Amino acid sequence: SIILPVYNAEPWLDECLMSVLQQDFEGSMELSVFNDASKDKSMTIIEKWKAKLEDSGILVVIGGHDSPSPRGVGYSKNQAIAQSSGSYLCFLDSDDVMMPQRVRLQLEAAAQHPTSIIGCQVRRDPPNSTERYTRWINQLTPEQLLTQVFTSNGPTVIQPAWLCARAWLAHVGPFDEGGQGVPEDLLFFYEHLRRGGGVVRVDQCLLLYRYHPGAATHSVLETTIWTHRVRFLEEWALPRWATFTIWNAGKQGRRLYRSLTAGARSKVVAFCDVDENKIRKGFYCHEDSQERPKPRIPILHFRAARPPFVICVKLDLTGGAFEDNLRSLHLQEGRDFLHFS
């Protein structure tokens, strides 16, 4: 089943639905559309395509509501899933376009990995939007799909590219229906990992992934995502480390330190950095702390610091300087360091 939530998608729907029609998968396929109170001509376009799709053997199930306001992406996905019947669920956003082999190739991977979310490489449209993010999505190694789950980029395979077994999705649970401002994909992804789910990417570009101001992503506050990320880091990664160093004595590193619970904060033995001015200062004093004396955390040069590190330096932003420094320490990602920025 292709799961397609729709909300005011008129400009993109023709292209999106054409890409469903053009799938080269030869098994039985169903399109489950849920219209989340669209006010444009989305439903007219869907009705027009229903006949075309059904003529080519694709069953089309349409649900929706016409309340004054939409109930959000999480609700729409859950409804589209509930009304569908396929044993595998292939997620599609109404503004994206699938390559013809998407369903077939991701399904092959899912059959081998029944408890994994299967993603794919993507092509961004317009091509120059979010270049760093697109590189990250497409170039993560199989190991990094599980180690880089704490960064501000969110899920290591993007949600509009997910395909997974219905049975596994039912095990992980529904999407959060909090509506606008809730990162329902990130919350589901974390729950999936908690339950031991895997992450697999088909290394072919199978999706045209559109970037535009109206995208739902833009309605989620950075602070909301930050809080979820910190809590997940504390729950999933920090328990296995007795102590750790925060790599970045600047704003991001200090923000992470302040965001940690007291128990996790007490494990921070140092900050490290390359900035001589910060290192010369010698320590960071946590002014807001209730403890007396207030904690003073040493600031060291990264070569003098000891792993494990939680790294609060953005990747792919310093012309390779940071990556070179990290590589020079010969550490293993996941065991000796994790990326948080």
CATH number for the domain including 85? 3.90.550.10
The pLDDT value recorded for residue 214 is 66
**Do 201 and 262 sit in the same domain of this protein?**
no
**Do 275 and 138 sit in the same domain of this protein?**
no
CATH of the domain at 333: 3.40.50
> What are the tokens at 64?
């929706």
The pLDDT value recorded for residue 243 is 98
User: Rounded to whole angstroms, what are the CA distances from 330 to 112, 143, 229, 303?
Assistant: 33, 16, 26, 12
Q: What global pTM score does this model have?
A: 0.95
| Structural domain contains residue 8 | yes
**Do 198 and 314 sit in the same domain of this protein?**
no
| Structural domain contains residue 155 | yes
CA–CA separation, 159 and 144 (whole Å): 17
CA–CA separation, 100 and 119 (whole Å): 15
> What are the tokens at 284?
């960071």
| Structural domain contains residue 297 | yes
CA–CA separation, 247 and 147 (whole Å): 16
The pLDDT value recorded for residue 51 is 96
**Do 270 and 295 sit in the same domain of this protein?**
yes
Cis-peptide, bond into residue 126, ω within 30° of zero: yes
**Do 197 and 287 sit in the same domain of this protein?**
no
Angle at 272 between CA 264 and CA 299, to 5 degrees: 85
The pLDDT value recorded for residue 331 is 98
H-helix segments, 87-221: 102-112, 131-139, 144-147, 166-172, 184-194
- Residue after which a domain boundary falls, among 221, 252, 285: 221
**Do 117 and 200 sit in the same domain of this protein?**
yes
Per-residue pLDDT of the chain (341 residues; tens, 9 = 90+): 999 999 999 999 999 999 999 999 999 999 999 999 999 999 999 999 999 999 999 999 999 998 999 999 999 999 999 999 999 999 999 999 999 999 999 999 999 999 999 999 999 999 888 999 999 999 999 999 999 999 999 999 999 999 999 999 999 999 999 988 899 999 999 999 999 999 999 999 999 999 987 665 567 899 999 999 999 999 999 999 999 999 999 999 999 999 999 999 999 999 999 999 999 999 999 888 888 999 999 999 999 999 999 999 999 998 999 999 999 999 999 999 999 99
CA–CA separation, 101 and 110 (whole Å): 14
- Residue after which a domain boundary falls, among 221, 248, 270: 221
* Strand boundaries in the chain, DSSP class E: 2-6, 29-36, 58-65, 88-91, 97-98, 116-125, 163-165, 198-210, 244-247, 268-273, 283-285, 296-301, 309-311, 337-339
The domain of 88 spans 2-221
| Structural domain contains residue 186 | yes
| Structural domain contains residue 183 | yes
| Structural domain contains residue 100 | yes
| Structural domain contains residue 167 | yes
| Structural domain contains residue 191 | yes
- Residue after which a domain boundary falls, among 221, 251, 268: 221
Handedness of CA 68, 72, 77, 82 (dihedral sign): negative
Q: Which of 179, 267, 178, 186 is nearest to 229 (CA)?
A: 186
